[in-house]
Amino acid sequence: MLLDPILLKIFFGSEFSSKHFGKSVANLCKDNMKLSRKIAKVFLRTLEKAQDDQTRYYLKALKPFLLINDSFKLLRLEWIFGVPDLIFRKIYGETKERYGVELIDRVNEEHLSYMTPILPLASSNAFLQ
C-alpha cells in the first residue's frame, strides 16, 4: 500500500514531505532493481503531468533517488534522463541517409531526442556501462 503510485504521487508532490519521503524511498530502493524501476516510472509519469509549482517538490524527492550508490545507479540515471538517440531519415530523391544536424532546416528544430528505456521498452543493461 505504501508503494501505490497514487500515494507516491501525493507524497512526492507535497511541499512538506517530498524531501523526507524521497530519502525514505531511496533507502528502500538501494540494491533493489524491481522497486527502483517502479519508482522511476512513477517519477517520470508524475513529472510529465506536474504543474509548474509542484515540479520543484518532485525534483527534491528525485534527488536522493538518483544519488543512491549501488550497482543500479547508472540504470536509474538512464531511466530518468534517457539516452540520446540520433535522428536520421532518408530525404526523398536522395540515395543516402542524413543524420543529426544535416537534417535541420530551421534553427529551432531538434536533431537529438532523449528516450527513456523504462517506459516503452525496458533494457536490463545500462547503455553507459
CB-CB contact of 8 with 42 (8 Å): yes
pTM value?
0.65
CB-CB contact of 36 with 73 (8 Å): no
- Supply 22's cell numbers: 524521497
Exposed, middle or buried, 107 (CB in 10 Å: 0-12/13-18/19+)? exposed
Give the pLDDT score at 42.
Answer: 87
- Supply 55's cell numbers: 515540479
Domain residues of the chain, as ranges?
Answer: 5-81, 82-120
Give the pLDDT score at 89.
Answer: 58
Mean pLDDT of each 10-residue bin along the chain, 129 residues long: 72 81 90 91 85 85 92 90 66 58 51 65 45
> For residues 36 and 31, what is the distance between their CA atoms, to the nearest angstrom?
8
Give the pLDDT score at 111.
Answer: 52
